[in-house]
């Protein structure tokens, strides 16, 4: 029952894309990219073709770029258009209208009410995340949605929480409208050689916008001051810090390695060196995250000097090799 964009999806039988398989160092990256990987693959597209943008990731001073699929890439590759949905009525009303037009609705919600985050956020902590609503049954307060690495369902009080039907934190306080997007699916997605060629053209554009210097070496310069901050903060702060630094750089380059593997499978040669280097970055970031977690627990950071040297060298290899092959 209810309104639905793609009726074939069922949380009980849904199988995540291979990019989210457990053998990866980073089977989950960030909520927005993970969601789009599942949406694209579920709609019959190859999400790997859109991963060339990962070469643009930079160190932003306090974090690595929170990487996202550029909407213009999705339009060129898959004829998929992402637009902001203006919210002036209840989010439920706008969601109904767009689903009836065959469009997914992407909504920023509180992970506190998402059952798929059980054990991390669900009914434990409040946090902002994005879901893609596919099935919507307002009468029975049920929802089918993409989030992170899968497709899930929720109902009842969780439905009320997602749509802010619960009382606001303080009496008389009105909740602000969330950020919402909708996804329009065209009729001319690219396939085969055409898809590869457009993907390569986008890669060349992204390489021109790559960081002007090695972002991992820039991170190395600030890392000692970050350790001082971590030494003074509780363990909960470490998890937030690691998500926005080591997880983002590691996951980003693991996806870049997957993208190069996709190119190789579609006829591109000479990518082995860059692929290996991407794997070294993903491995190194994960290893350092474990080391840093132990150091934070013990309040001892003396064994972390030089921990990023090999990761920074691997970045030079990966991006340098791709620039020589595809740059101007």
pLDDT tens across 125-158, in order?
A: 999 999 999 999 999 999 999 999 999 999 999 9
Output the pLDDT for position 168. 56
Question: Hey, where are the domains in the chain?
Answer: 3-44+80-185, 192-326
Output the pLDDT for position 300. 87
Output the pLDDT for position 304. 87
Global pTM?
Answer: 0.94
Region 21-28: mean pLDDT is 95
Give Cα separations from 84 to 53, 98, 102 (angstroms).
21, 12, 16
**Residue 147, phi then psi, degrees to nearest 5:** -160, 140
Mean of per-residue pLDDT scores for the chain: 94
pLDDT tens across 51-64, in order?
A: 999 999 999 999 99
Output the pLDDT for position 293. 94
Q: Minimal CA–CA distance to 258: which of 235, 224, 281?
A: 281
Q: Kindly tell me if the per-residue pLDDT of 176 is higher than 90.
A: no
Q: Minimal CA–CA distance to 106: which of 126, 80, 124?
A: 80
Output the pLDDT for position 169. 52
- Exposure letters 207-234 (e unless 16+ CB within 10 A, then b): beebbeebbbbbbbeebeeeeeebeeee
Residue ranges in the chain assigned as alpha helix (H): 31-42, 71-78, 91-100, 157-162, 192-208, 215-232, 235-242, 248-265, 272-298, 309-326
pLDDT tens across 106-123, in order?
A: 999 999 999 999 999 999
- Number of Cβ within 10 Å of residue 169's Cβ equals 8
**Residue 125, phi then psi, degrees to nearest 5:** -135, 155
DSSP class per residue in 84-114: E---SS-HHHHHHHHHHTT-EEEEEEEGGG-
pLDDT tens across 70-94, in order?
A: 999 999 999 999 999 999 999 999 9
Output the pLDDT for position 274. 98
pLDDT tens across 218-243, in order?
A: 999 999 999 999 999 988 899 999 99
């Amino acid at each position: 029952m209810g309104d639905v964009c793609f009726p074939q999806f069922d949380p009980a039988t849904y199988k995540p894309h291979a990019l989210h398989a457990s053998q990866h160092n980073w089977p989950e990256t960030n909520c927005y990219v993970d969601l789009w990987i599942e949406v694209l693959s579920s709609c019959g597209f190859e999400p790997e073709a859109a991963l060339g943008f990962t070469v643009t990731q930079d160190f932003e001073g306090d974090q690595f770029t929170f990487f996202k699929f550029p909407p213009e890439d999705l339009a060129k590759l898959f004829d998929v258009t992402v637009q902001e949905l203006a919210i002036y009525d209840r989010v439920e009303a706008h969601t109904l209208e767009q689903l009836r037009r065959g469009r997914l609705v992407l909504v920023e919600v509180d992970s506190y009410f998402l059952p798929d985050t059980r054990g991390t956020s669900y009914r434990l902590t409040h946090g902002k995340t994005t879901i893609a609503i596919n099935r919507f049954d307002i009468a029975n307060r049920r929802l089918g949605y993409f989030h992170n690495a899968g497709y899930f369902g929720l109902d009842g009080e969780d439905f009320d929480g997602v749509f802010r039907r619960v009382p606001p934190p303080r009496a008389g306080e009105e909740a602000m409208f969330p950020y919402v997007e909708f996804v329009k699916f065209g009729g001319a997605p690219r396939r085969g050689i055409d898809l590869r060629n457009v993907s390569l053209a986008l890669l060349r554009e992204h390489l021109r916008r790559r960081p002007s210097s090695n972002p991992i070496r820039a991170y190395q310069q600030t890392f000692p001051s970050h350790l001082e901050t971590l030494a003074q903060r509780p363990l909960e702060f470490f998890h937030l810090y690691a998500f926005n630094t080591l997880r983002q750089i590691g996951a980003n380059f693991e996806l870049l390695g997957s993208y190069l593997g996709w190119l190789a499978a579609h006829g591109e040669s000479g990518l082995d060196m860059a692929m290996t280097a991407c794997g070294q970055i993903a491995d190194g970031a994960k290893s350092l995250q474990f080391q840093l977690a132990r150091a934070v627990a013990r309040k001892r950071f003396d064994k972390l000097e030089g921990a990023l040297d090999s990761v920074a060298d691997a970045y030079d290899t990966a991006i340098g090799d791709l620039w020589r092959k595809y740059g101007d």
